[in-house]
Structures are given as C-alpha cells and as structure tokens.
Amino acid sequence: MCLSVVIIILIIFIQNREVTVHDSFSETGTNQYTEEITIIANRLIIWDTEEFAEEIIQKCIENSFKEIRFSYDLRGYPTELRIHVYTNKLLWHNHVKSFEIIYAQDSSNNPPYNIKDNPEKFEMKIIKN
C-alpha cells in the first residue's frame, strides 16, 4: 500500500514538471528561417503527442520557455519549426529520441509565411521514432 502511494506521488510529480529546452539552433537562408530546438518533456509518458506538440508550438510562438528567448525581434518569426522531443532526461542521456515535431508550410509559398502571422498556412507533422 505504502509503495503504491509513493509510486503514484512520483508519477504525478514527474508528469507535472515543466518542459525544458536543452538546445537551440537557428538556420537562415534565402527567404527561410528555421528554428530547431531539442526539448526534454520531463515526463514518464506523453499520452497525447498531438496535444503536446500543439502546446510546444504555441510556446515557441509566444516565446515563453523559461530557459531560452528566441531573437524574433532581430530576424522575425521563423518560417519553420523542428522540435526534437525526449520524454525524459534518462532517454536524452541514452540518445533515445521519442519523436520529432515539424511545423512547416508548403514549399511553394513564395515568399514564405511566418509561424505567428499565418498559422493556417502551416501543417504539423509528428514523426515517431
């Protein structure tokens, strides 16, 4: 009984921790600005990857991560997001990526749209490993 209570408390504690950004990389080219980040979800399991992906994309748009601030004032908003997701630090240490989120637009859009002003032009893809 006591062990099960401890396990439940541990699960609740781990599941309610904030996502942390571990790494960030920006790539710019002609009419292209890709923001690539690596995050650790600090969870045991991500039950709904689509909902989780939408939350992370929103945090990128709002620039609301605690560990990092994107330089949207210098380059504007990205035209593409690539987000590498690790469920927890143990998986990150062992190089076991859980999935990747790609938030991109059709390459025929010229000039390309940014993630904030034209979200209807973007498509979210989740690539599970």
Structural domain includes residue 48? yes
Q: Is residue 61 part of a domain?
A: yes
User: What integer pLDDT is reported at residue 107 of this predicted model?
Assistant: 76
pLDDT at position 129: 81
* Residue 8, domain member (yes or no): no
Backbone CA torsion sign across 59, 64, 70, 72:
positive
pLDDT of residue 16: 56
Look up the domain containing 35 and give its range. 18-128
Number of C-beta neighbours around residue 40 at 10 A: 23
Classify residue 41: in a domain, yes or no.
yes
Report pLDDT for 6: 63
Query: For residue 74, is it within any domain?
Result: yes
Q: How many domains does the chain have?
A: 1
pTM given for the model: 0.85
Successive 10-residue mean pLDDT values, the chain, 129 residues: 66 69 88 92 92 96 90 86 95 96 86 88 93
Neighbours of 52 (CB within 10 A): 21
Helix (H) or strand (E) holding 81: strand 80-86
Q: Is residue 39 part of a domain?
A: yes
pLDDT at 64: 92
Q: Please report which helix (H) or strand (E) contains residue 109, including its range.
A: none
Asked if residue 94 is part of any domain, the answer here is yes
Lookup result for tokens 């292209």:
32
Please indicate, yes or no, if residue 84 is contained in any of the structural domains: yes
Tell me how far apart the alpha carbons of residues 36 and 80 are, in angstroms, rounded to a whole number.
Answer: 8
